[in-house]
Amino acid sequence: MFAQQTPFFICISKKPEVYPGADRSSIMAVLPHRPGSLCMVLNKVSEVGFNLSKLESRPIPDRDFEFMFYFDFEASVYDEKFTDVIMDLENFCEKFEYLGSYTETI
């Protein structure tokens, strides 16, 4: 009956810090507007064995039928594969933002 809401978090700091045990990461990406762009990102995450736990799309204002994507995946920022994926995606995307890494507790 009631929609489950996803917890929202924000951290304001002069010096960003990722705490040990942070095993989830979030990114935002604007992908090239061509066939297969989203598939390429999903394949890259899958190839290294990261589990994608969330994928959301939001329309880009003033750009018809183009979207920005938010990804949450299970990956530690300290994992070497994480750095490789982030660097590949950063070079591939029109816009890319690493939103942070955190530990999800239930």
Residue with tokens 């939103």: 99
Helices 37-47 and 80-92, packing angle to 10 deg: 170
**3 state SS of 8:** coil
Determine the pLDDT at residue 105. Answer: 66
Amino acid of residue 44: K
Low-confidence ranges of the chain (pLDDT < 50): 1-6
Model pLDDT, residue 55: 96
